[in-house]
Chains A and B, each alone.
Chain A
């Protein structure tokens, strides 16, 4: 279980998060929705430790990780698929996947079969440079790389942004498969509502750095959720 409690985050003097609380459970997908610039990515940056919080706490499996470095959080099993994918363009697909070995013990350093079962295209392109892949393939590679580290929490930042519909379906299937394994707590940041509605167990909508609407799948009020997301 990954849990944030009343966190604030500042960039210099500018406040990006205001008392945000959120929980992600294993085997569940927690969706964070909202327009651009409302703080979704800042929340993920706080979770992975890319930016310090100025208040509040982050716990993972009951342990406080608020002050831990990103590398240490990765070692504990928090994987991040950033917006814009950030794959290494000059490394091959295989090398990109192997960068996911970094937090693993030597004996665990292998690419799980799941990665190629979910994204067969990666297997057929192992020797290609990451930068030569299409946007959709790069997105699959970025998710594959995250899975290589056997995560127990998977944070995805707008995985459908700028991706063609057929690959969006593949990515949706992959997220559903991982959820159904029951071990991974997924946080899905999205602006594509229909995609989130298909996968989400919990929903939180952000505006101006705060969570303004949240609900579980079975108590969802779609009209209220849409109101919170639209303008």
Chain B
């Protein structure tokens, strides 16, 4: 930890990861401020997923510093410890409990004492109910509370999973390609929903859908070959000559 990490929610400096000689991350440096929402874009193999793997402890970097909330050295922690610190990750494919109701999915995800005794003697209570209400409002599923999750549309499943993530009360949310496969209307609503979530939490979104990234209206970081090649507003990034070249495969 040093002065540079202070005041950041996520701080990566000089992070490198190689697999069999292939540099998935190459001296990657990135800082996300508390309360910020950041969009990460980049062509195939840019290192977006590896970056998330490093932050969540799935992959250990060969080199570099990774700090959370200014003080926590993430490279020294395992996946569970990192999750408990308050970093939540939404993978691309929806993974909800299809046979359970919307409400039960959220209930299962609520942050609470999960030790055997507490779990065994758990009873439904008003407080849990209110938390579920709040979350379902945010993810636009309040009217569908009793529905079986398997019967939801693709977009609604993605929202439900984002709701399950919120139930864990994370400080930082990592969201991987949330709108892939969504209808236009769902895509627009997802941008809205993430902006609402961003009022209370720091969010990092990886996306290919540029209409959606535009809708988010936040700072954009473009990765290529494991390093940052441009950062700024979507208009600045899309006008960047290097970014254009990379997207044209040059």
Contacts and interface: CB of A to CB of B under 8 A. Distances in A.
Contacts of A14: 154, 180-182
Interface stretch (A33-41, A51-59, A87-95): A33-41
B237 A208 contact: no
A1 interface: no
Interface in A24-70: 35-38
A37 B177 contact: yes
Contacts of B181: 10-11, 13-16
B244 interface: yes
Contacts of A160: 249
B183 interface: yes
A16 B183 CA distance: 10
Nearest to A36: B44
Interface size class of A (residues with CB under 8 A): 20 to 34
Interface residues of B, number: 27
Nearest to A195: B249
B44 A161 contact: yes
A186 interface: no
Interface in B1-50: 41, 43-45
Contacts of A11: 181
Interface in A143-188: 160-162
Interface stretch (B66-74, B77-85, B109-117, B203-211): B203-211
A192 interface: yes
Most A Cβ at <10 Å: residue of B43, B154, B237, B249: B249
A162 B181 CA distance: 27
Interface string B178-217: 0011110000000000000000000000001111010000
A193 interface: yes
Contacts of A192: 248-250
Contacts of A37: 177, 180, 208-209
Interface stretch (A73-81, A96-104, A105-113, A223-231): A223-231
Contacts of B249: 160, 190-195
Contacts of A161: 44
B137 interface: no
B248 A193 contact: yes
A36 B210 CA distance: 11
A8 to B, nearest CB: 12
Given A190-B249, A193-B248, A230-B238, A208 B154 contact: no
**What 3 A-B pairs are tightest by C-beta distance, nearest first?**
A14-B181, A192-B249, A13-B154
Given A35-B208, A190-B249, 8 more contacts: A13-B153, A15-B154, A191-B43, A192-B248, A192-B250, A195-B249, A229-B248, A230-B238
Interface of B: 41, 43-45, 152-154, 157, 177, 180-183, 208-211, 213, 234, 237-238, 243-244, 247-250
23 contacts: A11-B181, A12-B154, A13-B154, A13-B157, A14-B180, A14-B182, A35-B210, A35-B247, A37-B180, A191-B43, A191-B44, A192-B248, A192-B249, A192-B250, A195-B249, A208-B209, A229-B247, A230-B247, A230-B248, A231-B213, A231-B237, A231-B238, A231-B247
